[in-house]
Amino acid sequence: MGINGTYHDTIKSIISQHDRVHNEESDCLCHLEGQIGDCACSVDVVDQFNNVKLYPRLRSLLSKDYFRFYKVNFQRRCPFWEEDGRCSMKTCHVKMCHEGDVPPGLRENLTVEDEVLISKSHDCEKESDTDTELGHLNMTISPDVYKGFELWQAYDEDNFSVYPDEDGEAQYVDLLLNPERFTGYKGKAAHRIWKAIYLENCFWSQAPLELNNLCLEKRVFYRVISGLHASINIHLSANYLFGKRSRVFLTQQPNDEWGRNAAEFHRRFSPTYTKGLGPQWLKNLYFLYLVELRAVAKVAPYLKNESFYTGNNEEDRETKIAVSDMLKIVDSFKYHFNESALFDGGGQTADDLKKEFRYRFRNVSRIMDCVGCQKCKLWGKLQVQGLGTALKILFSGKFDSMSTEIQKNRANSTLIDLKPPQLARSEIVSLFNAIGRLSNSIYEIEQLKRMI
Ligand SMILES: Cc1cc2nc3c(=O)[nH]c(=O)nc-3n(C[C@H](O)[C@H](O)[C@H](O)COP(=O)(O)OP(=O)(O)OC[C@H]3O[C@@H](n4cnc5c(N)ncnc54)[C@H](O)[C@@H]3O)c2cc1C
């Protein structure tokens, strides 16, 4: 065979390889359509609403100071097993900031211990995740961890997630400096976490194909966890670190190290590689989005009175306007999830079922302390707390009477003194960032579709 023959064979083989990837990827995405299930809404309707209306607003809102600083305690001990090593790769590392980086209004609430911790931490670590040096993380356990656990035990019965990280060892993290993306956390350690969540805490001993045989509440529990799992895996595919050898997959930004990896997305969600389950996992992500969207809609009357205080008047005013704009958009959505269909009777009494649901979800939130990669732990805790806040808004009953009061108030055109239930700042921040992550995932699916 001459030079031309070899050349043409090579081109033919590249084209057929490309066609194969193309068909397999289309195969994955063409299954993501139609009804989402357990709600009156389709994938198309959510895509249109999210990508055009909600996503751009949330993206801008979440860059505001009120929403970007989140307090986390990385020192809490895993309560279920001895930790089996931590990810010491630079991509797992979270950059802490010093006192001056935290807005003044949030700093005022710092305790003496916080001040000491902050002054001990490095200057705001602005270096890139890809720098070669990553110091070993000091994860020494102190008695404060145990204090935190006691606090959790005394924590409000209505809460679905554990006591927020507000104890002495918690530190503020700037979420914009620590984006959720590929970290390389995988293998036995990561599988152990997912397995513990699914097998021990998801009412989930049956094979996934029996999902339809579960009662609505148990199915909802499984679907929200699976949706969170899908969202995390979309983010690591959409914001992937390319090594030299895998650079060939980078189709959009050939000079960047970080970028969308359609092949990774395909491996994780195509029916071919997931025994046909990938598209359902993506639908679970849409379902979780609808659950959290409904929680935001339900708590909107309370959020309208929130000051979003950071101590910077101009910034706080802008945040309030942006939140109010976003809430109007959320209110305009016509196909909200109907939470009243849950816990309304059945074989097991509704109250018992709710208690069990709450107990299991708290376990999921405690499992986050077992995640060995610091950045995965940060976003895992944030999203689980956000989901816990959504579940509290939807199912604790506290926010039902508020909505009813407000509707009555509107109908009578009278002013009454509303005593709204309390949401802590960390609950509001985590709820908004959690829906922000899901909104971003849905947007990223659209981008990955375009790449194919
Ligand atoms: C809390 C947490 C946060 C993480 N955050 C990050 C991060 O920020 N960046 C990062 O790079 N990695 C992160 N990881 C790791 C990541 O989620 C994967 O575990 C890792 O990439 C290994 O992937 P895998 O292909 O082995 O399958 P895994 O994602 O580990 O899944 C294990 C098994 O679960 C099933 N499964 C997969 N997806 C779903 C789904 N959506 N619904 C139901 N079942 C499913 C499949 O059978 C799969 O084989 C995180 C892990 C955890 C536990």
> What's the rounded Cα separation, in Å, for the pair 289 and 304?
21
Please choose from 78, 180, 192, 236 the residue to mutate so as to test ligand 1's pocket, defined by most ligand atoms within 8 A of CB. Answer: 236
Question: Among 33-37, 249-253, 324-328, 348-352, where is mean pLDDT lowest?
Answer: 249-253
Is the predicted pLDDT of residue 167 greater than 70, yes or no? no
Is the predicted pLDDT of residue 50 greater than 60, yes or no? yes
Residue 93 lies in a domain: no
State yes or no: 194 annotated in a binding site.
Answer: yes
Residue 151 lies in a domain: no
Domain with 348 in it: 36-68+186-451
Most confident of 105-109, 164-168, 289-293: 289-293
Give me the active site residues, please: 373, 376
Q: Does the beta carbon of 137 sit less than 6 angstroms from any atom of ligand 1?
A: no
pLDDT of residue 90: 80
How many structural domains compose the chain? 1
Q: Which residue has the higher pLDDT, 52 or 159?
A: 52
Query: How many whole angstroms from 194 Cα to the centroid of ligand 1?
Result: 7
> What's the rounded Cα separation, in Å, for the pair 339 and 323?
23
> What's the rounded Cα separation, in Å, for the pair 261 and 357?
36
State yes or no: 130 annotated in a binding site.
Answer: no
Query: How many whole angstroms from 226 Cα to the centroid of ligand 1?
Result: 10
> What's the rounded Cα separation, in Å, for the pair 300 and 403?
9
Q: Whose CA is nearest to atom 1 of ligand 1?
A: 380
pTM confidence score: 0.83
pLDDT of residue 279: 92
Sole residue written with tokens 């969600």 = 269
pLDDT, tens only, 70-105: 999 998 899 988 876 677 778 888 988 777 788 888
> What's the rounded Cα separation, in Å, for the pair 33 and 277?
14
pLDDT grade for 153, boundaries at 50, 70 and 90: very low
State yes or no: 57 annotated in a binding site.
Answer: no
pLDDT, tens only, 317-367: 999 999 999 999 999 999 999 998 888 865 557 888 888 888 889 999 999
* Residue 274 exposure: Cα atoms within 13 Å on the Cβ side: 23
Q: How many CB atoms lie within 10 A of CB 358?
A: 20
All residues at 6 or more sequence positions from 314 whose CB lies less than 8 Å from its CB, including other chains: none
The answer to whether the Cα torsion of 303, 304, 305, 307 is positive or negative is: positive
pLDDT of residue 254: 52
Rounded to 5 degrees, φ, ψ at 171 are -130, 145
Residue 13 lies in a domain: no
Please choose from 186, 268, 284, 370 the residue to mutate so as to test ligand 1's pocket, defined by most ligand atoms within 8 A of CB. Answer: 186
Q: Does the beta carbon of 204 sit less than 6 angstroms from any atom of ligand 1?
A: no
Query: How many whole angstroms from 19 Cα to the centroid of ligand 1?
Result: 28
Query: How many whole angstroms from 150 Cα to the centroid of ligand 1?
Result: 31
Taking residues 361-390, report their average pLDDT.
Answer: 94
Residue 343 lies in a domain: yes
Taking residues 364-393, report their average pLDDT.
Answer: 95
User: Which ligand 1 atom minimizes the distance to the CA of 384?
Assistant: 1
Residue 244 lies in a domain: yes
Q: How many CB atoms lie within 10 A of CB 25?
A: 20
Measure Cα distances from 9 to 2, 72, 403 in Å.
11, 56, 68
pLDDT grade for 305, boundaries at 50, 70 and 90: confident
Q: Is the ipTM reported for this complex over the cut 0.95?
A: yes
Angle between helix 262-269 and 216-238 (nearest 10): 160
User: Which ligand 1 atom minimizes the distance to the CA of 182?
Assistant: 11
pLDDT of residue 352: 84
Is the predicted pLDDT of residue 178 greater than 90, yes or no? yes
> What's the rounded Cα separation, in Å, for the pair 388 and 366?
12
Residue 374 lies in a domain: yes
Q: Does the beta carbon of 371 sit less than 6 angstroms from any atom of ligand 1?
A: yes
